[in-house]
Amino acid sequence: MNESPIFAKTYDLLLWLLPQANKFPRAYRFSLAERVQGRALDFQETLIAAGKVKGDARTACLRDADTQLTQLRQTVRLCHDLQLLSLGQYEHCAGLLNEIGRLLGGWQKTMQVKAPNG
């Protein structure tokens, strides 16, 4: 499970994003920085849960992960718009998020193929 590309890319995202959020100005550190970090960590935890369960529970976890990823994308976009992340930082993070999104979508499609009546 942990060798799957989505887990590796998510880990890479966390390694990069968590320290960046710690550098936010004090005015945003206890609101937006915590939200970014929490959403990223929640997303990772949901992916891990999806890797551990089977059937409908896995499908539900993947659906939750998809929602969490969308929320994280929007929060990162807000960070960029508030100039908490530079354009280069935003592009790097958005690239990681897009790649993770493609991997998550592929996993969801695989689950639909395994259970076409669901």
- pLDDT tens digits, residue range 54-71? 999 999 999 999 999 999
Distances in Å between the Cα of 53 and the Cα atoms of 10, 20, 91, 114 are 19, 32, 33, 15
- pLDDT tens digits, residue range 13-53? 999 999 999 999 999 999 999 999 999 999 999 999 999 99
Per the structure, the complete domain to which residue 106 belongs is given by 5-114
Residue 54 belongs to domain with CATH number: 1.20.1440.60
pTM as predicted:
0.91
Q: How far apart are CA 19 and CA 82, in angstroms?
A: 18
Question: Count of domains in the chain?
Answer: 1
